[in-house]
């Protein structure tokens, strides 16, 4: 699987990237959310990475526990054992047993024909030891060749890329309507595409893959498909997949 060029053999573009799993039907960034997205046929599972206080990679978006769990305070102040005592149900009683997953738990869940997108959420990735730890963990899990790193912070990803130059990185932007040339995947918050409708053409000229930052894309799928995006982000990947099939 050539993730560097975002080519997933046997799967059709645009690929659907499950944003924090399926966060419409399940609490975001939980094993239930990831499994539902996998079962629905998502091509790429996207999650956010923080570190526990004892340096374990955990799948959670916020730097604090308050929004998505029944805990409080910074994620980095808790050991993995302490984090695992919390419910990650996001206040949904039927998911009370869900816990904050580790990266290893997600890797074990991922089928061999799917890819992984990891959004790096903390400046701890600037530490070469942490960057090296991530690379080694991806290699041990057999997922390195199917992983792309994402971030709003180019330096976080470059830190990891210094440890493994072949790992692809994708820069996310809220405002820049022009792709940067020093990344392999590029994405911008979708209204910026109204300023530059040639965004994908420029990215492909630069030999980059492109994905709009739009977790609720369904009203714009025809437009994205016509523009030639390589991947589509979605909070509800099953619904998005079904709509794409009808276009």
Q: 189-205 in b/e burial notation, b at 16+ Cβ within 10 A?
A: ebebbeeeeebbebbee
CB 54 within 8 A of CB 48: no
Give 234's strand partners: 18
DSSP 56-111: -EEE-SSSBSTTTSS--SBGGGS-HHHHTTS--STT-GGGTT--PPBHHHHHHHS-
Kindly give the residue spans of alpha helices, DSSP state H, lying in 110-172. 128-140, 154-163
Exactly one of 19, 25, 153, 205 is catalytic; name it: 19
Q: How far apart, in whole angstroms, are the C-alpha atoms of residue 113 and residue 95?
A: 27
Tokens found for residue 83: 């984090």
Rounded distance between C-alpha atoms, residue 242 and residue 228, angstroms: 18
Tokens found for residue 41: 């046929």
**Catalytic residue check, 50:** no
What gap in Å lies between CA 162 and CA 63, rounded to an integer? 25
What is the separation of C-alpha 31 from the centre of its chain, rounded to a whole number of angstroms? 14
Residue whose pair of structure tokens reads 């470059």 in the numeric block:
158
- Could you tell me which of 73, 76, 70, 42 has the C-alpha nearest to residue 58? 76
The single residue of 61, 153, 204, 205 carrying the catalytic annotation is: 61
Provide the annotated active-site residues: 19, 61
């Amino acid at each position: 699987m050539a993730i560097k060029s975002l080519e997933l053999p046997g799967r059709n573009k645009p690929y659907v990237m499950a944003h924090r799993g399926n966060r419409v039907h399940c609490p975001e960034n939980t094993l239930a959310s990831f499994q539902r997205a996998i079962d629905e046929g998502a091509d790429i599972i996207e999650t956010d990475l923080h570190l526990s206080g004892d340096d374990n990679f955990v799948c959670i978006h916020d730097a604090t526990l308050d929004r998505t769990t029944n805990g409080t305070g910074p994620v980095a102040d808790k050991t993995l054992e302490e984090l695992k005592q919390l419910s990650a149900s996001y206040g949904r009683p039927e998911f009370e047993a869900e816990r904050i997953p580790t990266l290893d738990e997600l890797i074990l869940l991922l089928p061999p024909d799917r890819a992984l997108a990891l959004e790096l959420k903390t400046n701890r990735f600037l530490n070469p030891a942490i960057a090296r730890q991530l690379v080694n963990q991806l290699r041990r899990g057999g997922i390195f060749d199917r992983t792309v790193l994402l971030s709003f912070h180019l330096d976080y990803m470059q830190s990891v890329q210094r440890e493994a130059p072949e790992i692809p990185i994708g820069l996310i932007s809220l405002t820049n309507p022009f792709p940067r040339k020093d990344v392999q995947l590029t994405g911008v918050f979708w209204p910026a595409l109204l300023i530059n409708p040639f965004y994908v053409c420029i990215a492909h000229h630069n030999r980059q893959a492109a994905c709009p930052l739009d977790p609720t894309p369904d009203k714009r799928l025809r437009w994205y498909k016509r523009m030639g995006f390589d991947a589509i982000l979605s909070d509800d990947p099953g619904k998005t997949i079904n709509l794409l099939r009808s276009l």
